[in-house]
Structure 1
């Protein structure tokens, strides 16, 4: 019977760390399954290695889906916790990074829905100048518009569909699964998002003195 790579705990922490790191660098995909099995068994060395390996990627995905850096930080932290808690469900059929992406997307969208609901209640009952994120800011007419600014003007549904499909390269069917909607609804959101962005870009071109009548 093959012994589990983390079944015998060595007396020295460095030996354990070496064994964990050997799994991470192994070209065999089965190594990731064994690593995540160790995480599921609450091995602190394995948990630390997985967190360090995935943290930058998780933060990047959360940052793409969140409206602010603070929200992205909160979502990334929640996603990392969920990844560690769900380690036992990881299978070799997919890469660890891609599996972590899906966990991060689901956790971030769930966190965003809760935050949107909370903000909606606050905005309904609390004056804008007393809100923790302040009153809406007005952009200077000479400020250069960025893609983030344009995306920020989309509704949450369109924004999430656009980022998941175009930035994270999920298929329409995968976006539908992740957001709990139908593929047809996702397609509609993508079409409307593109049309809205094209309209915003033309408006920005007119404002900045560019060619205003170009069609995309």
Structure 2
């Protein structure tokens, strides 16, 4: 049996010889080859990044990262297909990773902004509602459930963070947040009730 490759296989094998030589030169660190490699693949990389990312700045950043990934991955090119097709696959993966990373960064920043805003609102509510109490604070705290009272005191009196309170009380973070929120809402309700009923603070002067 003749093991000699047929003409079509030889054509496929030789069609990308120059691409393979270029990639191997890049892998060896040849500066001129790296420049030629980057210049040739930049249009492919830009097309991918601009197709996946709407913002021009984001697309440019993703394109730069993809190009760096291509240069680092040059030794993986086997010459079995067009260099541009290989580059497109890698650029797509790189752009998707970058896009997902940026999304997570933005989500974390947004969550932190929301948490800061919520803390500011809670501080205002505490000042407005609990600054002048008709009765001693302990009397209001005693009307909360044990877990709400503990969570409120740990958070607002002792200054512990939510994760710290979760560890101290051996409760999940969502549960701790719920206890603090419900406890604070109940305190406000009790204070407003007394204010509406005309209960006077011991510090208020007599008429």
- TM-score, with normalisation over the residues of structure 2? 0.47
* Structure with greater helix percent: 2
Higher relative contact order (CA 8 A, sep 6+): 2
| Bigger-Rg structure (1/2) | 2
- TM-score, with normalisation over the residues of structure 1? 0.45
